[in-house]
Amino acid sequence: MTDAKNQKRSVIRLLRSHGITPTSQRVKIAAALFEKPQHLTADQVMLMVNQDRKKVSKATIYNTLGLFAEKGLLKELTVDANRAYYDSTTHNHHHFFNQETQEMSDIAADDIEIKLPEQLPEGTEIERVEMVVYLRNKD
């Protein structure tokens, strides 16, 4: 069996295991996303997925990214007020973001240390912690 077919199968398995019906569009999007750890905007996903003849519509890209995030396959990041970024790696970690180049990279878990406050506002609990180190180019 070819590698491509194997990859497709494992993507389908991944979707099913998260309660997502694997349509051809979703499989195509998932294959692009989960190929490697990366941080992508909806537009970038659109470009990756629409290289060939069979196009996936913008609406479906957005709906699918939203669905994947909701089902825990992706993490939506709030690093840039102008557009959403989706992280194909969902384990807990943080980010560098270079605003000049729009490039994001991960901060390895053991390169950072955060001691959170013990006192939270009345009646609340932590949902998640997002830390972003904004960078600029030197000189």
The residue ranges that bind a copy of itself (CB under 8 A) are 76, 78-81, 84, 96, 98-99, 103, 105, 107-108, 111-121, 123-138
Footprint of DNA on 102-121 (CB under 7 A):
none
Report the phi/psi class of residue 98: left, alpha or beta, with left for phi > 0 and alpha for psi in -120 to 50: beta
Could you tell me the smallest distance in angstroms from the CB atom of residue 86 to a copy of itself?
11
Quote the least distance from Cβ 108 to DNA, whole Å: 26
Structural contact between residues 93 and 106, judged by C-beta atoms closer than 8 angstroms:
yes
- Please say which residue, 42 or 132, places its beta carbon nearer to DNA: 42
Identify the residue whose tokens are 């019906």: 21
The candidate with the shortest Cα–Cα distance to 80, out of 137, 126, 40, is: 40
Residues 102, 59, 6, CA angle at the centre, nearest 5°? 80
Q: Which 1-60 positions form the footprint of DNA (CB under 7 A)?
A: 20-26, 41-43, 55-60
Distance of alpha carbon 14 from alpha carbon 106, whole angstroms: 23
For the CB of residue 112, give the shortest distance to a copy of itself in the complex, in Å.
6
Q: What mask of x and - would describe binding to DNA in positions 71 to 100, judged by CB under 7 A?
A: ----------xxxx----------------
